[in-house]
Amino acid sequence: MAVYTQVSAEALSAFLAKFDHGELVSAKGIAEGVENSNYLVDTTTGRFILTLYEKRVSADDLPFFMAMLDHLAIDGNPVPRALPDRSGALIHELCGRPACLIEFLTGVSVSHPTEAQARAAGAAMGSMHLSLARFSQERANTLGPDGWRALLDKCGRDLDAIEPGLFDTIGTAADAVVAAWPADLPRSVIHADLFPDNVLMLGDRVTGLIDFYFACTDVRAYDLAIMHSAWAFDAQGERYDAAVGKALVGGYVDRHPLSRAERSALPVLAQGACLRFLATRAWDWLNTPADALVTRKDPLAYWRRFEAYRKDDLFA
Ligand SMILES: Nc1ncnc2c1ncn2[C@@H]1O[C@H](COP(=O)(O)OP(=O)(O)OP(=O)(O)O)[C@@H](O)[C@H]1O
Ligand SMILES: N[C@@H](CCO)C(=O)O
């Protein structure tokens, strides 16, 4: 359960008093997620999400994320906006962490997406990219090839505690991916973490795209490669579902074009995506505080995906 910071009822009531959104009725920590602390908050006027930003989110980046969400919402994308308090402020401090009160969106995230759901989610990413082509702010990707390479190096030989020999195997793989990384594909702001748990759905309809806190400026097709790696495999990364992978890319191109160069770069972009998530998961695996109520995610599930992308062109 991702609740790194405990918020007392008294502190939350005082926080809510700054807004015109009623008084606290109940609040509970949300089990999903590993990055930030999230609470589901019910007040006398409605339901909200309270997010306290933890380890990987810098308070300095929050204005960028909020501007991006506003831009996407204005264009009709189903994204949650942060709510201003009476003074107009969106970003606050609560229990020593940066915090926002966020619109609650209906829907549930699917753990085993069907083809129809993958097609809808791919289309939602396509629409989001169309809208982001007109968003002019930028944010560097701290978890691009340099970032994940540095994180793997920081894990060092401790990686071998996850699986013997992993440090050397990953080092060789990372060198190959960095050497093949495409330099001249179209770039834009991307979500960079659009996993099934960050897409809310009702049936086959996308009702919410959430968790924009890795959004950054990078190769646009990399966003689709990340999504493919997250959606088209089982949780262990052992079984690839070709129909789901195809539907996801099909849904995307229904809304947004994918050039021949972007298409042929997808396999290496997907391998980079695997190393990026392997790196953060491995770091968390080795460094999660003992008292955190959080379920660590399996780093090796991303190593298995990496091997699948390296062996076959799963986008053919
Ligand atoms: N605006 C929202 N509306 C409804 N539910 C939400 C909203 N934001 C978050 N949630 C719920 O909270 C859960 C955790 O949120 P989120 O994915 O942002 O956390 P995180 O720790 O940043 O996760 P991750 O590990 O994916 O980076 C989501 O899976 C969803 O159930
Ligand atoms: N979506 C990521 C967590 C955010 O880095 C994962 O499943 O590893």
Span 290-310, mean pLDDT?
A: 87
**Residue corresponding to tokens 């998961």:** 281
238-290 pLDDT, tens digit per residue, is 999 999 999 999 999 999 999 999 999 999 999 999 999 999 999 999 987 65
Q: Determine the Cα–Cα distance for residues 70 and 135; give it in Å rounded to an integer.
A: 10
Which of 51-66 are b and which e, b meaning 16 or more Cβ less than 10 Å from the residue's Cβ? bbbbebbeeebbebbb
Residue 281 Cβ < 6 Å to ligand 2: yes
Ligand showing the shortest atom-to-Cα distance for residue 209: 1
Span 219-224, mean pLDDT?
A: 98
Q: Is 86 exposed, middle or buried (0-12, 13-18, 19+ CB in 10 A)?
A: exposed
Q: Quick check: 232 pLDDT over 60?
A: yes
Bridge partner list, 98:
93
Q: Report how far ligand 2's centroid is from the alpha carbon of 277 (Å).
A: 6
Atom number, ligand 1, closest to the C-alpha of residue 195: 26
Q: Determine the Cα–Cα distance for residues 146 and 17; give it in Å rounded to an integer.
A: 43
Tokens of 126: 């396509």
68-85 pLDDT, tens digit per residue, is 999 999 999 999 999 999
Span 11-38, mean pLDDT?
A: 93
Q: Quick check: 186 pLDDT over 80?
A: yes
The confidence score (pLDDT) of residue 1 equals 46
- Closest Cα to residue 187, out of 146, 132, 229? 132
Instruction: Name the amino acid, one letter, at 60.
Output: D
Task: Identify the residue with better confidence: 263 or 293.
Answer: 263
Average pLDDT, the chain: 95
**Residue corresponding to tokens 């396999």:** 267
Task: Answer yes or no: are the C-beta atoms of 145 and 181 closer than 8 Å.
Answer: yes
The confidence score (pLDDT) of residue 261 equals 97
Q: Is 178 exposed, middle or buried (0-12, 13-18, 19+ CB in 10 A)?
A: middle
Atom number, ligand 2, closest to the C-alpha of residue 197: 1
Residue 277 Cβ < 6 Å to ligand 2: yes
Instruction: Name the amino acid, one letter, at 174.
Output: A
Q: Quick check: 293 pLDDT over 80?
A: no
Q: Classify 7 in phi/psi space as left (phi over 0), alpha (psi -120 to 50) or beta.
A: beta
CB atoms within 10 A of CB 128: 25
Domains contained in the chain, CATH given: 9-103 (3.30.200.20), 115-311 (3.90.1200.10)
pTM of the model: 0.94
**Residue corresponding to tokens 């599930």:** 301
Strands 187-190 and 37-43: unpaired
ipTM for the predicted complex? 0.92
- Closest Cα to residue 197, out of 74, 306, 35? 35
The confidence score (pLDDT) of residue 56 equals 80
